[in-house]
Structure 1
Amino acid sequence: MSQANNSQAQVEAMIEDIKGRLKMATAAAMQASAFSVEQYDDIKDIHDIVMSKSNFSISEMEALVSELGKLRRS
C-alpha cells in the first residue's frame, strides 16, 4: 500500500481499534499520536490480526503489545 494514501488520522484510528479490541489495561499509556504514518504498513498488519480474532491468549496479547511498543516513536 502506498504511504501517499495513508494519513496520521488512519494510523491513530487503527491504534484506537487495537486498544479497544485488546481491552488493554495500559491503553492510556499507549497514545495513538505516538505512532507515525511511516509505520502504517506494520500497524495495518497488527490491526488486521487483532480485528480478525475475537479472543486472544495472554501470550498473544503480550506479543501484539510488544510489537506495538517497538513501533512507537521515542
Structure 2
Amino acid sequence: MNLDTESRENIEYMLEEIKRKLQIVNAGALNSKSFDTAQYEDLRDIYEMIQKKTNFSVSELDAIVTELGRLRK
C-alpha cells in the first residue's frame, strides 16, 4: 500500500494495522472517522514507528495511545 497519499483509505489501513499490532481491545476508540487528514503525517509517523518494533513496554503503549487520543477530532 502506498501511504504517500493522504486519503481516508490510508488512514483506515494504518489504524487497523495499529490496532492489530498493539492488540487494542477497545478497537472502537480508534475509529477512522475520528481522524482528519490534517493529522495524516503524525498518524503515519506513529504507524511507521509501531511497524518497526516487535514489542512495547507499558509506558510506550500508554504514550502511543495518549498520542492517538490527541490526534482524534
Q: Give the structure-2-normalised TM-score.
A: 0.87
Which amino acid in the other structure matches residue 72 of structure 2? R
Moved over 2 A (4+): none
What CA distance in whole angstroms lies between the structure 1 residues aligned with 2:71 and 2:62?
14
Identity rate, percent:
41
Equivalent position of 1:45 in the other structure: 45
Q: Give the structure-1-normalised TM-score.
A: 0.86
Which residues of structure 2 form unaligned runs of 5+?
none
Residues 1-74 of structure 1 correspond to what in structure 2 (within 5 A)? 5-73=5-73
Instruction: Calculate the aligned-residue CA RMSD, in Å.
Output: 1.0
Which residues of structure 1 form unaligned runs of 5+?
none
Q: Is the 8 A contact 1:12 1:35 kept in 2?
A: no
Q: How many corresponding residue pairs?
A: 69
